[in-house]
Structure 1
Amino acid sequence: MGAIEDIYEDLETDVPEEEFRKAVEEKVEQMGGLADEETAAMLLAHELNENEVNAIADIEPGMDEVKFLAKVMAIGDLKTFERDEEDEDGRVINVEAADESGSLRLAFWDGQAVDIDEGKLEVGDVLRVKGRPKDGYNGLEVSVDKAEPDDDATIDVEPGAGSSIDALTMGQSDVTLRGLVLDTDTIRTFDRDDGSEGRVSNLTLGDETGRIRVTLWDDRADRADELDAGAAVEIIDGYVRERDGSLELHVGDQGAVDEVDDDVAFEPDADPIAEVELEETADIAGVVRSADPKRTFDRDDGSEGQVRNVRIQDATGDIRVALWGDKADKDIAPGDEVLAADVEIQDGWQDDKEASASWNSTVVVLDDGADLATGATGGGASAETTDAEHAGLSSFGDGADDADTDNSGDGAAAVSAGTGDTSPDGGAQSAGQQVEFTGTVVQTGDPVVLDDGEQTMSVETGERVQLGQEITVRGELRDDRLHAEDVF
Structure 2
Amino acid sequence: MRVFLLRMSEAHDIFETLLKLGISEEDLEEELKQKLLQFHGFITKQGALFLIAKEKGLEVYSRELDPAIYDEAEYNIDYGEFIVDIASIHKDMINIVAVGIISEIFKINKFQRKDGTPGKVASFLLTDSTGTIKVVLWGKKAEILRNEFFKVGKIVQCINGYAKKGLKDRVEIHFSKKSKVILAPQDINKSVINKLKNIKISDKRHNSREINNTSRNPDKIEDLYNMEGFITSISGTIKIVELKEFTKNNREKSFLLKLTLYDETGEIKVKIWGMQAIEILKIIQNGMNVKIFNFLVERNDYLESKEIRFTKKTVIEFL
Higher helix share: 2
Larger Rg computed on CA atoms:
1
Which one has more relative contact order, counting CA pairs under 8 Å at least 6 apart?
A: 2
| Global fold match (TM > 0.5) | no
TM-score, normalising length: structure 1: 0.26
